[in-house]
Structure 1
Amino acid sequence: MTHASGTPATHGPSISRELSLPMLIAMVVGSMVGAGVFSLPSTFAEATGVYGAIIAWTIAGGGMLLMALVFQKLTLARPDLDAGIFAYARAGFGPYVGFFSAFGYWASACIANVTFWALITSTLGVLFPALGEGSTVAALVMGSIGVWLFHAVIVRGIGTAAIVNTITTVAKLVPLAIFLIVLAVAGFSWETFTGNLWGTEIHSAASLGEQVRATMLVTVFVFLGVEGANVFSRHAKRREDVGRATVVGFLSVLALFVAVTMLSYGIMPREDLANLREPSAAAVIEAVVGPWGGWLISIGLLISVMGAYLAWTLLAAEVLFSASAGDDAPRALSFINRRGVPTHALLATSVLTQVFLVVGFFSDDIFEFSLELTSAIAVIPYLLTAAFALKLALGGTRRAGALALALGAFLYTCFLVYAMGLQYVLIALLVYSPATLMYVHARRERGLRIFSVPEAVLCALVTLGAAVGLWALLTGRIGF
């Protein structure tokens, strides 16, 4: 097994090359098609109308396509970097920034897992009122049990988990296909669709711009996982399959997301869509065909979310393991068992998921809380990956195509930071800042230099930003 710098890992068996192209595609699709797709009708309708949705998906789809192509190019340009999003940030900007990317990606994956349990319990709450909409004590208990059951499955091996993920990916796409067919053939109303063109009574470019901005955190959330094949590139049978899986998986999922969103605008007025209980896709199809449609989507959601939870837990553990193997996280996290699973990193992942599950329980809306926090934290690793690609393009042969691709991806991720707004930037820093303690411990136990001068300055700025965020949170100036 190798880590990000290409030197041998000190724990566990040799690397296992067991993921084929279909399994890598399933990893990308399984990571992206999870909780978010079933909430698109209401989350988009709450923010905007048809015009805003078209603009939002054009920006988000185009921007994330650039990111998918960047991941594909980096896979070929730097085959020595086999830990994906973490390795790129480290190679481009040093160990401290690389650790931040790894920690942010890991933390965002753990928080994303909370949204999955929120939707599972909310869906089952129709049958079992004690679960409510995912925010009751019973829901918390059920989610906690689920966290540790999945932990037990993943410990059995990456290959076993990948096979389960492939099966659930196929299974969850069937109800979504039926959803699209039913809406397009039996339920779509052009009159209703045209009545939903505008998101507000104010028909202006400024208002439309604000509506589009309001959708950006949602689009970030649903596109998380586009880099799934890159994270597992060390397990790929063929290196070139990683880039192919990324692009094919992304384009397939983009088409699905756009279709779910736009067809829903033709089923009921935007105000009604915005007020639907999650998963809103179930209520949309139920309005067309009756209760059986809602049940179909609910079953599909349960399969989908469980598969996505499995994929995201795998991604999170893999990134934390890579940070440890690269000397930037505590050494214990690089341990792997005889099945090739980074068990200590997996345990840390399950523990952090459990912690955020409890924290989310005390929020006003656990689903919205976890979705927004996940997106805010995940933007930084994407920004650093795009910046690394831009750095390579500027320092290499400067081919116009490579430079334009990297610059486009970088500008898109900068726009995402702007769209987040100051509130979410400060909240993200609140999560990032304490992680420095983990980094300092890891460097000290290996006898390595902790900070360079630029890294020390960055640490001071992040700490200051976190302090401002804490003050703003305690004084009520920001919050969820």
Structure 2
Amino acid sequence: MSNKKIGLLSLTALVLSSMIGSGIFSLPQNMAEVAGVEALIIGWTITGIGIIFLGLSFFFISRLRPDLDGGIYTYAREGFGELMGFMSAWGYWLCATIGIVGYLVVAFEGIGTFTDTPSAVIFGQGNTIASFIGSSIIVWLVHILIAKGVKEAATVNLIATFVKVFPLLLFILLALWYFSSETFSYDVKATALNNCVSDQVKNTMLITLWVFTGVEGAAVLSAHAKKRSDVGLATVLGILIALALYIAITILSLGILPRETIAMMPNPSMAGLLEQMMGSTGKIIITACLIVSVLASYISWTMFSAEMPYRGAKNGAFPKVLDKLNENNTPIHSLWFTGLVVQLCLLLVLLTGKSYNALLLISTSMILVPYFLIGAYLLKLSIQQNSPWYIKFTGFMASLYGLWILYAAGLDYLLLSVLLYVPGIGLFLYSRYQHQDGKFNLNKWEKVALATIAFLFVWAVYNAFSNINWN
């Protein structure tokens, strides 16, 4: 198996499956809760342009530097040094790992809609003992699948991707049939929200970021691609398909029911909308699709999570013990590391009762900086190589979109990410000490960056304690 590679179709499916997880099924309610028709159209326009430039950044980097494997980590390390490379890898790994815990939680919450009753709650919100046991079984079954080889896991993911996209197309076709222009055009500015259109647009940004997380999937697994040229192409194809689905589902939903009604729906809100169009069968279809969707995404995201520490370990950013492949060319120690952390997080979910939404809040905050660094690296690389103007422009626009997302996230999200980045700094320093024969060998800019992070950490801790209700 070790010599088998992933083709363009499977790479595209990995990108698409990574993005289409659970978020799309809650997208109508999530967006209707914060914005009206006018703001949604503007928000999707900004996101569409920004995410396409981000995807094109992966496309161009894969051609300007076809020798680089590992995607987000490798690009940040090459462009901005070992520390920033590690920060990008750590942020991405945490985003992926916490995100896949959320996938398991929401999958069993979906199963609970078929099994739970008011008098007998079995799976609840995915945080019961039954959910913990079921999730744990899936963690180690997927571990075995990926350990047998990335190519085999990618094939399973390809099949699952086709299965979960079909109900989405069914929803869009029915929505076109039931679409009411009168319902759609009512209160396009969402005056009931009591905020301006620009604020509504800003409030949609993190939602759209979450549903596009996974755009880097093909680049992360670039070492396993049959052709390096397929990496960028798969990324762009995945983005275009996902963007079309997201816009269609969000916009058409507002022509089925009023925004205020959709905003009050329980999630997955697509289930309620499809039930409105075709009865109880629609709710069953969407819920079943949700379960298949998040489990398929769990497979691809686990592959991404295992790949990142392995790539980092090869370059001294993660401990040496994670730099090991098994006979199937799978980063087995990194896979074990990821699986054990997921298992620990599931235990914390059981003990604390955290829900899917809380996990996504934490997960999304970790991907902001890594995405910004992708566009920044392309801009730097294109200037260094004197690339054509359109490549420089792509890097500039992707960087601008990254800055906009950081701004739209707000201070609370940024400080939350700092709290989660700091534990990784200790791991980086240990790994650097291990790989550099007992020395840290930090350069001037790395020392400045560490001092800045330390200051932000103190601020973040102070902010966290200030927000605690001590009464």
Smaller-chain TM-score range?
over 0.9
How far apart are residue 311 of structure 1 and its match? 0.4
Q: Residue by residue, what CA displacement relative to the aligned partner does 1:402-436 show, whole Å, maximum 9, x if unpaired? A: 22111110010001000111101000011111101
Match of residue 400 from structure 1: 389
| Secondary structure of 2:14's aligned partner | helix
* Counterparts of 1:364 and 1:201, CA distance in 2: 33
| Secondary structure of 1:127's aligned partner | helix
Q: Does 1:442 align with 2:431?
A: yes
How far apart are residue 137 of structure 1 and its match? 4.0
How far apart are residue 466 of structure 1 and its match? 2.0
* Counterparts of 1:456 and 1:314, CA distance in 2: 33
Alpha-carbon contact 1:88-1:388 (below 8 Å) kept: yes
* Counterparts of 1:248 and 1:39, CA distance in 2: 23
Match of residue 105 from structure 1: 92
Q: Does 1:352 align with 2:341?
A: yes
Q: Residue by residue, what CA displacement relative to the aligned partner does 1:66-106 show, whole Å, maximum 9, x if unpaired? A: 00001000000001111111111000111111011111111
Alpha-carbon contact 1:217-1:372 (below 8 Å) kept: no
Quick one: which amino acid aligns to residue 69 of structure 1? Answer: L
Alpha-carbon contact 1:196-1:269 (below 8 Å) kept: no
Q: 2:312 aligns with which of 306, 323, 337?
A: 323
Quick one: which amino acid aligns to residue 286 of structure 1? Answer: E
* Counterparts of 1:269 and 1:105, CA distance in 2: 37
Quick one: which amino acid aligns to residue 179 of structure 1? Answer: F
Q: 2:250 aligns with which of 261, 286, 293?
A: 261
Alpha-carbon contact 1:119-1:278 (below 8 Å) kept: no
> Unmatched 5+ residue regions in structure 2?
none
| Secondary structure of 2:192's aligned partner | coil
Match of residue 166 from structure 2: 174
Most deviating of 266-275 and 90-99 = 266-275
Q: 1:372 to 1:259 in 2, by over 3 A?
A: same
Instruction: Give 1:67-146 correspondences, 5 Å limit.
Output: 67-129=54-116, 130=121, 131-146=123-138
Alpha-carbon contact 2:132-2:346 (below 8 Å) kept: yes
Match of residue 19 from structure 1: 6
Instruction: Give 1:300-449 correspondences, 5 Å limit.
Output: 300-360=289-349, 366-397=355-386, 399-447=388-436, 449=439
Q: 1:72 to 1:305 in 2, by over 3 A?
A: same
> Unmatched 5+ residue regions in structure 1?
1-12
Match of residue 6 from structure 1: none
* Counterparts of 1:361 and 1:193, CA distance in 2: 41
Q: Residue by residue, what CA displacement relative to the aligned partner does 1:102-138 show, whole Å, maximum 9, x if unpaired? A: 1111110011112212321221221222222334443
Match of residue 203 from structure 2: 214
Alpha-carbon contact 1:218-1:375 (below 8 Å) kept: no
Match of residue 277 from structure 1: 266
Quick one: which amino acid aligns to residue 108 of structure 1? Answer: C
Match of residue 240 from structure 1: 229
* Counterparts of 2:344 and 2:46, CA distance in 1: 34
Match of residue 5 from structure 1: none
Q: Residue by residue, what CA displacement relative to the aligned partner does 1:264-316 show, whole Å, maximum 9, x if unpaired? A: 11121212211222211111100111010111111111111111110001011
* Counterparts of 1:192 and 1:364, CA distance in 2: 38
Match of residue 53 from structure 1: 40
Match of residue 467 from structure 2: 476
| Secondary structure of 1:126's aligned partner | helix
Q: Residue by residue, what CA displacement relative to the aligned partner does 1:238-274 show, whole Å, maximum 9, x if unpaired? A: 1111111111111011101111111111121212211
Alpha-carbon contact 2:32-2:262 (below 8 Å) kept: yes
Q: 1:137 to 1:474 in 2, by over 3 A?
A: farther
Q: Residue by residue, what CA displacement relative to the aligned partner does 1:425-470 show, whole Å, maximum 9, x if unpaired? A: 0000111111011111111122255221211121121122123212
Using the aligned pairs only, state the percent identity.
36
| Secondary structure of 2:255's aligned partner | coil
Match of residue 466 from structure 1: 457
| Secondary structure of 2:380's aligned partner | helix
Quick one: which amino acid aligns to residue 336 of structure 1? Answer: L
Alpha-carbon contact 1:30-1:311 (below 8 Å) kept: yes
How far apart are residue 363 of structure 1 and its match? 6.5
Q: 1:423 to 1:362 in 2, by over 3 A?
A: farther
How far apart are residue 360 of structure 1 and its match? 4.4
Q: 1:473 to 1:202 in 2, by over 3 A?
A: closer
* Counterparts of 2:399 and 2:354, CA distance in 1: 32
* Counterparts of 1:248 and 1:332, CA distance in 2: 36
* Counterparts of 1:369 and 1:217, CA distance in 2: 14
* Counterparts of 1:103 and 1:91, CA distance in 2: 16
Q: 1:151 aligns with which of 143, 161, 172?
A: 143
Match of residue 188 from structure 2: 197
Q: 1:51 to 1:295 in 2, by over 3 A?
A: same
Quick one: which amino acid aligns to residue 158 of structure 2? Answer: T
Quick one: which amino acid aligns to residue 79 of structure 2? Answer: G
* Counterparts of 2:286 and 2:204, CA distance in 1: 23
Match of residue 455 from structure 1: 446
Q: Residue by residue, what CA displacement relative to the aligned partner does 1:314-351 show, whole Å, maximum 9, x if unpaired? A: 01111111011112110011111111111111112122
How far apart are residue 50 of structure 1 and its match? 1.1
Most deviating of 262-271 and 419-428 = 262-271
* Counterparts of 1:137 and 1:212, CA distance in 2: 39
Aligned pair count reads 462
